[in-house]
Structure 1
Amino acid sequence: MWEIKGTWNIEINPSPRQQGSGKKSICADKIFLLLFMLLSVVSSCQESKMNEKKQVWAGAVVAPKEYPVEIYNGALSSNEYAYNFGPIYGILKQGWSSSGKSMGRPDTPIEFPDELKMTWYAIQEQKFYTGNWKLDKEQISKVWQEGSLNVKTGTKEEFETLIVGLAPGGNVALWAEGARQVLLATFQAHDTTINKETANPDFEHFFRQEYRDVAYTPEKLYGTELYAQLQGKGWPDPKLYLDYNKKYAWKFAVEGIGIGPKDYFYYKCFNGERDQLLNTSDGNTDLPKAIPEHISVKWQDSKQQHWVADTRFKYDVIKKAFEQFDPAEKIDLLIQVDIASNVLNTYLKSSSKQVKIVGYDLALVPVDN
Structure 2
Amino acid sequence: MKSTASLISISIGLCIIFSCQNKSTIKKYDWIATENAPKEYPMRIYSGIFYAGKNPVNAVPSGSIINYGWGETGSIESSGEDLKEAPDTLRLTWISFTENKNYTGKFPLNVKLIDSLLSTGYPAEDLPSGHEEYFYFKVGMAPGGVVVLWLGGPGKQVEVGRYQGKETNDVDWKSEIPGYNGTMEEYGKHIIADLPKEVQQQIADHKIPYGKWDHWRRHFSWKPVITGDVKILSLSMFMFNKEMDFLMSKRLNPAGYIQRGAIEKLYIFWVDHKKRERRSQIDFDETETDQIFSALKPGTHSDLLLHVTNDYGPAVSLKTAAGIIPFKKAKINSYIR
TM-score, with structure 2 as normaliser: 0.81
Paired with 1:270 and 1:320, the residues of 2 have a C-alpha distance of 13
Shift of 1:292: 1.5
Q: Deviations over 1:236-267 (max 9, x none)?
A: 5120100111111111112333446xx32211
Partners of 2:37 and 2:140 within 8 A in 1: yes
Partner of 1:188: 164
Unaligned runs of 5+ in 2: 1-17
Offset of residue 87 of structure 1:
4.4
1:257 aligns with one of 222, 229, 252: 229
For 1:178, the equivalent position in structure 2 comes to 153
Residue 294 of structure 1 deviates from its aligned partner by: 0.9
What residue identity is the alignment partner of 2:166?
Answer: H
One-letter identity of the residue aligned with 2:223:
K
Residue 111, structure 1, aligned to residue 85, structure 2: yes
Letter in 2 for 1:71: I
Structure 1 residues 217-236: aligned runs within 5 Å: 217-220=191-194, 222=195, 227-230=196-199
1:28 is aligned to none
1:238 maps to 2:210: yes
CA RMSD, Structure 1 to Structure 2 (Å): 3.0
Hey, what's the Cα distance between the residues in 2 that align with 1:306 and 1:47?
Answer: 52
Compute the displacement of 1:300 (Å).
Answer: 3.4
Q: Is the 8 A contact 1:72 1:86 kept in 2?
A: no
Q: 2:138 aligns with which of 154, 160, 163?
A: 163
Give the distance between the partners of 1:120 and 1:205, measured in 2 at CA: 19
- Match runs of 1:270-285 below 5 Å: 270-281=240-251, 284=254, 285=256
Report the AA paired with residue 162 of structure 1.
F
Superposition deviation, residue 283 in structure 1: 8.6
- Whether the aligned pair in 2 keeps the contact of 1:56 and 1:110 (CA below 8 Å) is yes
1:199-238 CA distance string (max 9 Å, x none): 5722455662499458724454x3xxxx034357776512
Question: Identity over aligned residues, as a percent?
Answer: 22
1:149 Cα deviation after fit: 2.9
How far apart are 1:128 and its partner, in Å? 1.0
Matched residue count: 311
Instruction: Decide which moves more: 116-125 or 136-145.
Output: 136-145
Match of 2:176 among 202, 224, 239: 202
1:121 corresponds in structure 2 to 95
- Is contact 2:234-2:252 (8 Å) kept? no
* TM, length-normalised to structure 1: 0.75
Give, in whole Å, the separation in 2 of the partners of 1:211 and 1:326: 45
Counterpart amino acid of 1:243? Answer: H
Q: Any residues of structure 2 matched to 1:143-154 within 5 Å, and which?
A: 143-153=117-127
